[in-house]
Amino acid sequence: METKDTKATTNVSKKPAAKKKAGFTGIKSAWIILVLCLILAVLVYLFVLGNPNNFRGGDPNGHPINMLGTIYKGGVIVPVIWTQFFAVIVLTIERWLALKTAFGKMSLDKFVEQTKGFLNKNDLAGAKALCDKQGGSVANVVSATLTKYQEMEAAENLTKEQKVLAIQKSLDEATALEMPTLQMNLPILAVITTLGVLTGLLGTVVGMIRSFSALSAGGGTDSSALSQGISEALINTASGIATSWFALVFYNFFTNKIDHLTYGLDEVGFTVVSTFSATHK
């Protein structure tokens, strides 16, 4: 017959371990970033690019005298492109800080190697202490898996295969909890890699249509006006390509970082499961 203390202990052991988090883990409301970037882009368009000093005679409707004025002539598409560009910058900083926290204090390779050393010596206390010191996503997953490891050592009514399966399940569940945090906001960067170029091309097409319409209405073939219009239109293409270039570079950079972290998780997880399987009957 179970006593109240025994039941209480059993209930506590069934509760999932709290997810340890420390430091910056990311911005969940990405739409706030996009809205703020849009506001910033509009302000830059109106007050920086549209500054009267950038145009002949101080008239924004006149001919630009520098690159800022030429960009302004790109029209309403310009703030859209710059919104994407600012979003790439902000999300790059946000993901860099989040992944820095996720990797923990020491290098991932060093942490994995030291953890494997503790496990090979069957020093679970040392491995958990290392996880607490390390912090980050990998340490969180390993710590949760080691907790289940200790629970399975104390379990007497399960077969070895059931214990190994329980440890593997704990590893998979802990990993599944961490992965969304690592990949958060990366889909936005992925979209901008394509959307930046398309928006730039849209601005170019609109600018070309406007230029040829103006020439047709004037009844002449003013090469100066045509070249000015083409120059203004191509600015949008250049801005869109630059935005997509940055988005693509940083998206692949962060994806590779996450793959490296995932590989570290798999390596340590395999070591935990293999150690239990080899040292228990």
For 204-255, write each residue's pLDDT tens digit: 888 888 777 767 766 555 665 676 677 778 889 999 999 999 999 999 999 9
For the segment 170-204, what is each residue's pLDDT rounded down to a tens digit? 999 998 888 888 899 999 999 999 999 999 999 88
Residue 80 in this model has a pLDDT that exceeds 90 = yes
The residue ranking higher by pLDDT, 78 or 154, is 78
What are 193's two structure tokens? 């890699």
What does the angle CA 139 – CA 144 – CA 149 come to, to the nearest 5 degrees?
120
SS3 61: coil
Instruction: Judge contact between 74 and 236, C-beta under 8 A.
Output: yes
* Arithmetic mean of pLDDT, 76-86: 95
**Per-residue confidence (pLDDT) for residue 30, from 0 to 100:** 87
pTM, entire model: 0.83
Distances (CA, A) of 161 to 110, 147, 235, 275: 31, 18, 64, 13
Distance (Å, rounded) from C-alpha 40 to C-alpha 60? Answer: 20
**Per-residue confidence (pLDDT) for residue 119, from 0 to 100:** 85
**Domain residue ranges in the chain:** 25-279
Instruction: Judge contact between 99 and 182, C-beta under 8 A.
Output: yes
What does the angle CA 212 – CA 213 – CA 217 come to, to the nearest 5 degrees?
115
* Arithmetic mean of pLDDT, 127-143: 89
